[in-house]
Structure 1
């Protein structure tokens, strides 16, 4: 099928998936991305064979992944993600990295090259996938939401740094130098974003917010393009640029357009979650190597093994180092959210296959386990929070009470 026909199929799924999620929500709150991925698998070459992505569709899919990471970076509120909670989240991720690399190499039979890819994938948290679940449950603004954001931000950003250091194929000194240059560019961007804006900037934002000019929205996408370009020029993964762009954009809008910020974000999210992000998830399903996974034997057995490792390697340290003011059920929910992984796993698995470190079967099992984590772990986390007397029934923006209150 031509790229136009494939794109029509993908966008049709983008419309159908929310309807199915809405209908299923009467019985079970299944994350929207599950329908997008499963329907993508259904129309893909291993099932119905209707869709065959080409360079155009793949390019849009990569942009959708960048937008997902950008929005995850934007959601980070520096006033909440700091102090003891941030320290605990960093320690938990470092413990996860050590355990992931060790178990990855062990699982690969001592093959360090393959083990690094597996181990790095086990350290990720799908913050961009978890945040909509928290928002829909009315927990994003509460104490629990801020803790999930802190642990999730480190679980999103840490693997991106690890990818640059461990998976780039460069010498450690060279990779570190390039990261340092990018860090300096990001620091400059943060400094620039925190500076007071000239009065004309806010006036232009307000006057064009409801016109075809859309200055603020265009400016946000310019920042995203600049940071993606900087990462690409330095030979770093574009996800690093996307995450940094989200952080800088948040600081800029909070300072220059605090009143218009939520509406600007809503417009950017409309582009992201309305077009680019679902396209990424559907294409992920289409390109999922179902045939390799179902060949049986060791490959199929690896899926539940990887799923368990996501929970143990990532969720275990999160549970162990969770803030002590969280109730036991909330700590369990935090660990489940922290173990939810997909976007970065897809990227790492693709890199591993291209590098020859991962076979098609191992990559399919790894991505398949991440897909199951997106389906299973948020549902269990919502049940844990409901059992703790908070979360799923709380109206949006309501703060929880008791030991988890502000």
Structure 2
């Protein structure tokens, strides 16, 4: 009964979060984190509920599942525009800068993964608000897809590193990861052939006229099965959730409304639980201290400048100055993955609580102020005409 009462209090936060987000015109994820921190600070709820922690973890996995749903493999492979050739330059520069900062300033190894991390979440929010008609946003989506794949791999390796250290277990995890990716690649090719030979099979699995929600049942089943497989293999379960999303998005495209339905299920309940849980782990008395604000500011500056340098090197000729700056800012808001890295690191004692708070605050600063900055630039500076 205590858990039921606790979850009832959390549901109230889920209910009021969109109202505050709409009124304040900020990301709802940021509002949910702040609400989670506030209710613990004022004593409305107590932190440390194990059931809430477990459900929040499922919420995070579901968020990664939704990220996978955003990836259209066929469209991505067929995209032959010239800026694809510069992807290697962009990411090499981005990761090169993160390694350089790590060595020069003798940073925690966590920063090697955190500074170049990419997430589709806020990019999708930008596309939802401004549409894909802008060249820099179209590029942001392509880079976001590639970056998210790299980031998923980085998260898996990072999780294994902080959990087991550099040694036999890490190498074993990397080998298993590579094998999983190879098996996934050939499984997708095999399924593509299977569905080509038996096109009606898709509609047997997910009928067009479905009054029993079979499409949702299949999606959730695939989600949990792949998570369970990753858990059995001792690989970060994020990868299983992500692959499940890619599978659903690319083999059942006849179910046009399914991604929207799965998004509503996720963002209506499971995903908010994760962000509220993140908020409940914060101590507001510590979060806004001078030391943490200073560290968070440095993290934001490092992430933005690293992307700015990489973007100008790779895409300045294609986008022009104004759109290159917008692209850099659009790629500088990896809210969910930055929080994920901080959570994994603090749970494995790779960083202390102060650094954890700094990462969370940095993620919130990026989500709020960079979104505002993008709006200001788009409203007041006209794009240059590319020849």
Unaligned ranges ≥5, structure 2: none
The 2-side partners of 1:103 and 1:41 are apart by 31
Query: Which of these residues, 64, 68, 76, is aligned with residue 69 of structure 1?
Result: 64
Q: Which residue matches 1:233?
A: 232
- Contact residue 43 and residue 49 of structure 1 kept, 8 A: yes
Residue deviations 1:80-105 (CA, integer Å, cap 9, x gap): 46444344334322322222233235
Residue correspondence of structure 1 range 134-213 to structure 2 within 5 A: 134-137=127-130, 139-140=131-132, 143-168=135-160, 169-171=165-167, 173-195=171-193, 196=195, 197-202=198-203, 205-209=206-210, 211=211, 213=212
In 1, the alpha carbon distance for the partners of 2:379 and 2:192 equals 39
Give, in angstroms, the shift of residue 187 of structure 1: 1.2
* Counterparts of 2:286 and 2:191, CA distance in 1: 47
Once residues 140 and 194 of structure 1 are traced to their aligned partners in structure 2, the CA distance between those partners, rounded to angstroms, is: 28
CA separation of 1:64 and 1:166: change in aligned 2, threshold 3 A: closer
Counterpart of 2:51 in structure 1 is: 56
Runs of at least 5 residues in structure 1 that lack an aligned partner in the other structure: 391-401
Measured after TM superposition, the shift of residue 358 of structure 1 is 0.8
Hey, what's the Cα distance between the residues in 1 that align with 2:26 and 2:312?
Answer: 24
Divergent runs of 4+, >6 A: none
Q: Cα 1:105–1:382, aligned 2, differ >3 Å: closer, same or farther?
A: same
- Whole-Å separation in 2 of the counterparts to 1:170 and 1:58: 28
Contact 1:72 1:243 in 2 (8 A): yes
Q: Is 1:116 aligned to residue 117 of structure 2?
A: no
Distance 1:7 1:122 in 2: 35
Give the paired residue count: 375
**Aligned-residue offset at 1:351:** 2.3
- Give the match for residue 339 of structure 2: 346
1:300 offset after TM fit, Å? 3.6
* Counterpart Cα distance in 2 of 1:147 and 1:61: 32
CA contact (8 A) 1:117 1:167 kept: no
Structure 2 partner of 1:396: none
Distance (whole Å) between structure 2 residues aligned to residue 193 and residue 271 of structure 1: 27
More helix by share: 2
TM-score normalized with structure 1 length: 0.83
Structural RMSD (CA): 2.8
Q: What pairs with 1:3-402 in structure 2 (closer than 5 Å)?
A: 3-24=3-24, 29-44=25-40, 46-78=41-73, 79-80=75-76, 82-83=79-80, 84-107=82-105, 110=106, 115-137=108-130, 139-140=131-132, 143-168=135-160, 169-171=165-167, 173-195=171-193, 196=195, 197-202=198-203, 205-209=206-210, 211=211, 213-254=212-253, 257=254, 260=255, 262-296=256-290, 298-322=291-315, 324-387=317-380
Instruction: Spell out, residue by residue over 1:92-126, the C-alpha distance to the aligned partner (whole angstroms, 9 max, x if none).
Output: 2232222223323544xx36xxx221221111123
Once the two structures are overlaid, the 10-residue window that deviates more, 303-312 or 72-81, is 72-81
